[in-house]
């Protein structure tokens, strides 16, 4: 029986036609090719979200300034624009590098090397998720941004505050058009400060920022975070499989590590664009 | 793939990659902060700085994307057909960006137009002299 199958296979491989089944399309295995196409479709999903963000941002007269919104870091650091999120980017870049190392050890069929570098990758991914959890908690619990309410506003005219908020703004402070503010939440209500407009002399109240900002932020970074989370789960499963010696017996060796590697680099790639769109621009 | 080079060379390349990506990210953050006037206070008054900084950051991010796909995901070792079939479809996104950003800009212009018209309306609420709206009720109904 076995000899027959091998004979059939050799016969198949000797056939030349592209459709006769003897050749791999694009000289890539089925699994890797399908991973590439899955990632392409996923790239379109993310691009759709990010383009929607751009369209809504262009449709508003003002938009929250990222280096004002994202200027808080753990250990009581305030007024440090983009520092924490740069740290998060570095975590993903480093975990991408450890993933490349795991794939290389797979090519050498070095089981311990694969498991070691994959576990380092898991630590990087889990660290990123922890940072994101901190960032979300800060925005939701401390700054009270929600999917429907965005307390980050931008002044459209210059003026003078008629009251203070107990968070750095004092009565009599002046501001210019384009300056950012955060409406603080006290005792179950948003504390919108009253101010006198320099242009018309009218007494007005701070307004909420564009409503869609919170929904876009939580949805897009949440969707990316979900990709990171599922990546960590799959990395763990494949690291366990590798440690148990499963891939030693396989004909294609450590190809599973290569496939999860492709996915993991894609998660890093998407972060490059989320970082660009939400934080840098 | 590893069988193209010897092991030490390949490992060294990975750490060069780490350096490249880290450096490009740091430059991006620096340019972003520079464009928004966090590094020189006077840059805040220069609107064009935002556009130049934005353009540079987008170019650098595209380079990072190229580096991750070609070096880390080993796209450079795949056959041209696979490269094209994965990368070419993303060119459609260029159309998507142009179309939707223009649409967003147009929503903004329309909102402003409606706001301007609402402010004007106050002076035009009195019906014009000689129109049918000045006729007595029974005369007015004849028109319908």
* CA atoms of A165 and A69, how far apart (whole Å): 17
Q: Residues of A with CB below 8 A from B27's CB?
A: none
Res A136: pLDDT? 95
DSSP classification of residue B37:
T
Q: Report whether pLDDT(B2) > 50.
A: no
Residue of A64, A80, A81, A93 to mutate when probing chain B, most B C-beta within 10 A: A93
**Within 10 Å of residue B46's Cβ, how many Cβ atoms?**
13
Mean pLDDT, all residues of chain A = 89
* CA atoms of A185 and A206, how far apart (whole Å): 13
Radius of gyration of chain B (CA): 30
Nearest to B72 among A90, A94, A96 (CB): A96
Q: Residues of A with CB below 8 A from B73's CB?
A: 261-262, 265-266
Res B63: pLDDT? 96
Q: Report whether pLDDT(A4) > 80.
A: no
Residue with the bigger pLDDT between A66 and B144: it is: A66
Chain A's closest residue to B55, CA to CA, is A281
Res B18: pLDDT? 95
Residue with the bigger pLDDT between A110 and A170: it is: A110
Q: Report whether pLDDT(A215) > 90.
A: yes
- Tell me: the pLDDT tens digits for A18-60? 677 777 888 888 889 999 999 999 999 999 999 999 999 999 9
- Tell me: the pLDDT tens digits for A116-169? 999 999 999 999 999 999 999 999 999 999 999 999 998 888 899 988 887 778
Res A120: pLDDT? 97
* CA atoms of B128 and B48, how far apart (whole Å): 48
Percent of chain B with pLDDT over 70: 83
Q: Residues of A with CB below 8 A from B2's CB?
A: 104, 107-108
Residue A95 in contact with residue A62, Cβ under 8 Å? Answer: no
B1 pLDDT band, cuts 50/70/90, is very low
A186 CA: distance to closest CA in chain B (Å)? 30
Res A198: pLDDT? 86
Residue A175 in contact with residue A159, Cβ under 8 Å? Answer: yes
Q: Report whether pLDDT(A170) > 90.
A: no
A76 pLDDT band, cuts 50/70/90, is confident
Res A1: pLDDT? 45
Provide the Cα torsion B119, A199, B37, A140; round to 10°.
-60
Structure tokens at B46: 């220069």
**Of the given ranges (A175-179, A232-236, A244-248), which has the lowest mean pLDDT?**
A175-179
Res A81: pLDDT? 85
Res B128: pLDDT? 60
Contact (CB<8Å) A56/B81: no
Do the bridges between strand A174-175 and strand A152-154 make them parallel or antiparallel, or are there none, so unpaired? unpaired
Contact (CB<8Å) A265/B58: no
Nearest to A82 among B29, B68, B86 (CB): B29
Mean pLDDT, all residues of chain B = 85
* CA atoms of A34 and A37, how far apart (whole Å): 5
B100 CA: distance to closest CA in chain A (Å)? 6
Contact (CB<8Å) A26/B79: yes
- Tell me: the pLDDT tens digits for B15-63? 999 999 999 999 999 999 888 877 777 767 777 888 899 999 999 999 9
- Tell me: the pLDDT tens digits for A88-121? 999 999 999 999 999 999 999 999 999 999 999 9
* CA atoms of B26 and A250, how far apart (whole Å): 42
Residue with the bigger pLDDT between B106 and A2: it is: B106
Q: Report whether pLDDT(B117) > 90.
A: no
Residue of B35, B63, B66, B104 to mutate when probing chain A, most A C-beta within 10 A: B104
Nearest to B93 among A47, A58, A86 (CB): A47
- Tell me: the pLDDT tens digits for A239-269? 999 999 899 888 888 999 999 999 999 999 9
- Tell me: the pLDDT tens digits for B57-82? 999 999 999 999 999 999 999 999 99
* CA atoms of A118 and A261, how far apart (whole Å): 9
H, E, C per residue of chain A: CHHHHHHHHHHHHHCCCCCCCCCCHHHCCHHHHHHHHHHHHHHHHHHHHHHHHHHHHHCCCCCCCHHHHCCCECCCECCCCCHHHHHHHHHHHHHHHHHHHHHHHHHCCCHHHHHHHHHHHHHHHHHHHHHHHHHHHHHHHHCCCCCCCCCEEECCCCEEECCCCCCCCCCCCEECCCCEEECCEECCEECCCEEEECCCCCEEECCCCCCHHHHHHHHHHHHHHHHHHHHHHHHHHHHHHHHCCHHHCCCCCCHHHHHHHHHHHHHHHHHHHHHHHHHHC
Residue with the bigger pLDDT between A171 and A113: it is: A113
Q: Residues of A with CB below 8 A from B113's CB?
A: none
pTM, entire model: 0.85
Q: Which of A268, A147, A152, A277 is nearest to A218 (CA)?
A: A147
Nearest to B64 among A104, A266, A272 (CB): A272
A173 CA: distance to closest CA in chain B (Å)? 19
A210 pLDDT band, cuts 50/70/90, is very high
What value of ipTM does the predicted structure carry?
0.85
């Amino acid at each position: 029986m076995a000899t027959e199958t091998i004979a059939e296979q050799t016969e198949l491989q000797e056939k030349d036609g592209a459709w006769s089944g003897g050749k791999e399309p694009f000289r890539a295995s089925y699994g890797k090719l399908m991973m590439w196409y899955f990632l392409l479709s996923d790239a379109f999903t993310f691009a759709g979200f990010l383009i929607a963000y751009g369209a809504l941002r262009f449709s508003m007269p003002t938009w929250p300034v990222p280096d004002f919104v994202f200027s808080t870091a753990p250990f009581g650091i305030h007024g440090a624009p983009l520092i924490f999120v740069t740290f998060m980017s570095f975590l993903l870049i480093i975990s991408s590098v450890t993933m490349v190392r795991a794939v290389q050890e797979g090519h050498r069929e070095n089981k311990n090397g694969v498991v070691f570098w994959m576990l380092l990758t898991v630590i990087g991914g889990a660290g990123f998720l922890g940072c994101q959890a901190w960032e979300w908690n800060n925005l939701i619990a401390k700054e009270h941004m929600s999917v429907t309410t965005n307390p980050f506003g931008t002044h459209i005219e210059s003026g003078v505050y008629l009251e203070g908020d107990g968070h750095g703004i004092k009565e009599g402070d002046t501001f210019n058009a384009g300056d950012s503010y955060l409406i603080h939440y006290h005792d179950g209500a948003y504390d919108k400060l009253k101010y006198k407009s320099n242009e018309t002399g009218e007494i007005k109240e701070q307004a909420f920022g564009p409503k869609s900002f919170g929904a876009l932020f939580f949805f897009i970074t949440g969707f990316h975070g979900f990709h990171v989370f599922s990546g960590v789960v799959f990395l763990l499963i494949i690291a366990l499989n590798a440690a148990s010696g499963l891939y030693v017996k396989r004909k294609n060796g450590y190809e599973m590590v290569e496939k999860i590697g492709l996915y993991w680099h894609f998660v890093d790639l998407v972060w490059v664009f989320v970082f660009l769109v939400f934080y840098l621009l | 793939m590893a069988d193209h080079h010897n092991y030490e060379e390949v490992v060294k390349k990975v750490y060069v990659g780490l350096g490249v990506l880290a450096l490009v990210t740091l430059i991006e953050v620096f340019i972003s902060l520079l464009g928004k006037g966090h590094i020189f206070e006077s840059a805040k008054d220069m609107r064009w700085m935002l556009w130049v900084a934005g353009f540079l950051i987008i170019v650098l991010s595209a380079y990072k994307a190229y580096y991750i796909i070609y070096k880390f995901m080993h796209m450079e070792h795949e056959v041209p057909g696979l490269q094209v079939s994965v990368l070419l479809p993303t060119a459609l996104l260029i159309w998507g960006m142009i179309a939707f950003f223009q649409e967003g800009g147009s929503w903004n212009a329309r909102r402003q137009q409606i706001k301007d018209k609402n402010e004007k309306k106050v002076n035009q609420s009195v019906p014009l002299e000689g129109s049918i709206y000045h006729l007595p009720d029974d005369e007015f109904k004849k028109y319908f």
